[in-house]
Structure 1
Amino acid sequence: MAAPMGWVPVLLLQCRGWRFLRRAGAKLRDAEVRFNSTEAAAAALSEPQVPDKEVATDSTISHRKKTFSEVLAERQEEAQRTVLINCPSSINEKKMLKFLSSHGNIKNHFFYETCGTYAVIEFSEKGSIASLQNATGIPEFVEECPVPFKSRIFTLTPKDLRSQASALRSISCHKQTPIPDGELVKKLCSADSKTGPFKIEYQTKRVPSQRIATQRILYVIGEFIDNFGPGCVNVQKILNARCPLVRFAHQPSGLQCDLTANNRIAMRSSELLYIYGNLDPRVKALVFGVRCWARAHNITSSIPGSWITNFSLTMMVLFFLQKRNPPIVPTLDQLKALADTEDKHVIEGFDCTFVSDLNKIKPTRNTETLDDLLADLFEFFGNFAFNKYSLNIRKGKEQNKPEASSLHIQNPFEQNLNISKNVNVKQLEKFVALARESAWLLQQAGKDPSSSHSQPWGLAALLSSSVTNARRGTQQKGKTSERIRGLLDSLKISDIIQKRSFGTQVR
């Protein structure tokens, strides 16, 4: 008896469901006639009514009812052509529909009230949605910051022509300055003739500041990468840093990735390193060699801490190459002097200008070999007065340290910052000691190694697990060779992957 009784609620729900669908269909036809602004409504008014059983539909033509999956596919396709717009309660519906029709033909629409007035607009083509989105801006608030989010939910407000006129007058009085690309695109979108008398914006959540918006966005992205990113491991959400970021490792490629938001200065830094890396083939080779050496001796680490970073090592190598006679790479100020108008970038008050055309930079007359450069680099930093001086690639010379820190390397763009502030005395002393030992080993590289086959020598000794042990003659030739082979293979892979983005891995 339990089974038949169990069907009663289901039958009741089915009956009620059919009645609901019939009533909804009737209301939709009434709405189409009432608003009289769509093709469907016009057809309903102009064509004679046909009894339901004679209406030609897909189901009557095919002599079967549509499956659930077919209906679902239809509704999904309709949804992709539909937007939801929050509009003022006193909106002129005809004027609004005329404005929206500039983006494409409107197939269906209806208004409803719930916590405000909303309009559901269904376009005939998906391209109309893209057109509307291109003409839609991110809202601006006086004391709050919007969380950027683009969707098919919009807010429509009438334009205040008087405030626009006053804004135009005030703008004309300002000093004419270049407009950043992003702002220019935004202004051009707002100047589109399709905007008409209305201002349309995306609906967004509000937060107290841009920093909080960035932190929340990166938190969500970090969760997504951690849970769904194939091959992405060791995800760290470093949201309280000066520049919030998400750090993770991509196992398939072996890359360490830092993901930030709205960090345009980092993009300029990547471009600068790309330029330096393509000025002379010795630059990349020396940078990767020093990075490999530092990784072999645990001078750098993938874990945040007091270690020297790869970015700091890269800046040190560039500084050393600027100090050669003649210099191998120019200073940042020299690159700035070659810049044209289109190369000028001032980001958040910081001058990030430098030439982008490599053909404008004269090649160096320096002909030193990589062997000599590597040996001199270790000797240079093994005897550098880190306790007194700071490294500055903008000027290409040392300068007095502006603060009491173990290692001071000036940020090339944000010149008030020290990119190596995290390094402590112990790590700096380790770097200096290993640099001196490495310089000594390279000086011995020219000697005949035939009398000592049991221990690595020259470059092989530099990449062994301990330079000191190499000098003392440790019997670990097999392990050392294996380690060197792995590190060199890693460098080859990194060089292939990073051909066009030299030095973008900042750890």
Structure 2
Amino acid sequence: LSAAVEQATRMRSSPSSSAAMASSFALRRLHMRGKGGLCKCLQKGRCGSLHAVQAERLEQAQRSILISCYSRPTEKKFLKYLSRHGDVKKYFFYESYGVYAVVEFANRDGVASLLEEAVIPSVSNEALVPFKSRLLSLKNLSSVDSNHFKHFECVKIVTNKHSWGTVSTLQVVSLTETYQLTDENIRLRFLVCSLLQDIAAAYFPECTIKPFGSSVNGFGKLGCDLDMILDLDGISGGKPKSVLSLEFQLKRANSERAVTQSILSVIGECVDQFGPGCVGVQKILNARCPLLRFAHQPSGFQCDLTASNRVAIKSTELLYLYGELDPRVRSLVFTVRCWARTHGITSGIPGAWITNFSLTIMVLFFLQKRSPPIIPTLDHLAELAGSADKCVIEGNDCTFVIDISKIQLQSNTETLEHLLREFFEFYATFAFSKMSINIRKGKEQNKPEVAPLHIQNPFETSLNISKNVNATQLDRFVALCQESLWLLQQSGTNTPRVGNRSNTATPWGLATLLLPSQVAGVKSRKKRRREPASERIKGLLDSLKNNSQPKKS
């Protein structure tokens, strides 16, 4: 995050700022060439559904293998070895507890041929679990210096200031381009799903494991968790063709929840005992949505696997759809999320903080309230739906149009810079004490229950997705919106200021919002937190004025 602040600060001050920022990213998070992998894939056909994209990605994953390379092989010899088994369509390298390669063959025969040649390793003083998977180790190939390997170049952020409107808009877009998932990262996420599916298929051959949430909805940030669902809906028998018919004899349980708990418990044992690289397996079976939680070391992902969260799948499709309607949606969401994480509004651990999902819904609601609206309401999307789009899950109407070409947007040309400022003003004055946020209707409604923050679940409409947020955290959010709005209004410039005493650029534009809030002087952090927002704002403005005044020599 600090790298993004530095990039935003120096964007016009230093021609080499892009390269300097790029070098600060860790390779193990796959900051590689080719930004916006999901968006790039989706733009091949604007009318394609998320379901079609997932099907394509899952097929790619089935034709792929993950190889641990204890030494870095020469590219020529590596490809020559793999090509003996089939045509290699794509490959890339990354670092996570060592060097790994993801290799995609043109067809599954290449994978099968390679697996036939793989052998069980010979070790002494240890016992091995003889479970064969598509996670392999490569040995006995000559290595070369790491500088020879072009694939370890970090992503360079595009900063062509003439290609995007205003400078502040450029900052917002650059922030999005920096942190969104790369094509390689998305491929690796689907490959991890495919490797786990191989384990589950021992019990449920027709099952699929696929990602949902931020990994595929277009709002995922590099380093985000990998949420997966074990989909058993494809398991079904044939229809009776005669008077006599056969049925499978199956175990029975009291409820679907009990079935889910039993299945995840068994899969959890298999992942823990047989899954290479899967560590720290936790069975969280008594949660509202039972799940398995573990770390996949070869990929570096923290993973959650569930088996019954079908409403979350529809939420994923909805967010993806909104993100595809207008490029400003994703950029604004990324910026607000980044701002929120900087100031501790959101957190990576459970608690009373606002979640990223709640924050995303708040951004969507704000965009629905623009004049004219930038995105339509969920009710309008439901009106456009055809019979094939009909979807009811556990009594909840989850219907909305999937074909983007059927959606006609109104003309709104507001810049990202303007929208960011308006977002802060909108929620700095929002009547949280009385009103609920509802993207289905696209308008405020009276709160149906007592809660500091009420955001209606788009599909399970009786639920408040922000029920965990307490009054203290909501007050902090409002105060920071007020402060950020004031800063944007008072800075009064779109160019960086460079001090006379050094070449260090003073934070400007978006960078001022991504820096931790603080006041001039040497007050302790604890005292600063107790200060009213107005005092903190006054101190910040005084600091900005002092920096902008020329100093006497």
Q: Which residue matches 2:240? A: 191
Deviation string 1:404-456 (CA, Å, 9 cap, x unpaired) is: 11111000011000011111111111111111111122223433652766642
Q: Which residue matches 1:243? A: 289
Q: Which residue matches 1:465? A: 516
Given the alignment, which residue of 323, 330, 333 partners 2:369? 323
Q: Which residue matches 2:345? A: 299
Q: CA deviation at 1:358?
A: 0.1
Q: Which residue matches 1:386? A: 432
Aligned in 2, Cα 1:295/1:213: closer, same or farther, shift over 3 Å? same
Structure 2 counterparts to residues 115-130 of structure 1, below 5 A = none
Q: Which residue matches 1:4? A: none
Q: Answer whether contact 1:406 1:425 (CA < 8 A) is retained.
A: yes
By percentage of residues, which structure has more helix? 1
Deviates further, 223-232 or 356-365: 223-232
Q: Which residue matches 1:314? A: 360
Structure 1 residue runs without a partner (length 5+) = 1-147, 153-180, 475-507
Q: Answer whether contact 1:437 1:468 (CA < 8 A) is retained.
A: no
Q: Which residue matches 2:151? A: none
Q: Answer whether contact 2:498 2:506 (CA < 8 A) is retained.
A: no
Structure 2 counterparts to residues 3-402 of structure 1, below 5 A = 150=204, 186=236, 189-192=238-241, 197-202=244-249, 204-225=250-271, 236-248=282-294, 257-402=303-448
Q: Answer whether contact 1:437 1:467 (CA < 8 A) is retained.
A: no
Q: Are 2:482 and 1:436 equivalent residues in the alignment?
A: yes
Aligned in 2, Cα 1:183/1:422: closer, same or farther, shift over 3 Å? closer
Aligned in 2, Cα 1:358/1:151: closer, same or farther, shift over 3 Å? closer
Q: Answer whether contact 1:438 1:467 (CA < 8 A) is retained.
A: no
Choose 1 or 2 for highest CA Rg.
Answer: 1
What TM-score do the two structures reach when normalised by structure 1?
0.53
Look up the SS of the partner of 1:201 in the other structure.
Answer: coil
Q: Which residue matches 1:419? A: 465
Q: CA deviation at 1:285?
A: 0.6
| Mapped partners of 1:445, 1:254: distance in 2 | 40
User: Percent identity, aligned pairs only?
Assistant: 62
Output the amino acid matched with 1:295.
R
Q: CA deviation at 1:320?
A: 0.3
Q: CA deviation at 1:226?
A: 5.3
Q: Answer whether contact 2:496 2:506 (CA < 8 A) is retained.
A: no
Deviation string 1:257-313 (CA, Å, 9 cap, x unpaired) is: 442212221111111111101000000111111111112222212211111111101
Q: Answer whether contact 2:376 2:409 (CA < 8 A) is retained.
A: no
Output the amino acid matched with 1:358.
I
| Mapped partners of 1:251, 1:185: distance in 2 | 30
| Mapped partners of 2:413, 2:347: distance in 1 | 33
Q: Which residue matches 2:497? A: 450
| Mapped partners of 1:301, 1:233: distance in 2 | 23
RMSD: 3.5
| Mapped partners of 1:459, 1:283: distance in 2 | 17
| Mapped partners of 2:429, 2:479: distance in 1 | 10
Q: Which has the higher relative contact order, 1 or 2, with Cα contacts under 8 A spaced 6 or more apart? A: 2
What TM-score do the two structures reach when normalised by structure 2?
0.49
Look up the SS of the partner of 1:436 in the other structure.
Answer: helix
| Mapped partners of 1:445, 1:236: distance in 2 | 49
Q: Answer whether contact 1:444 1:458 (CA < 8 A) is retained.
A: no
Structure 2 counterparts to residues 398-409 of structure 1, below 5 A = 398-409=444-455
| Mapped partners of 2:352, 2:345: distance in 1 | 10
Q: CA deviation at 1:360?
A: 0.4
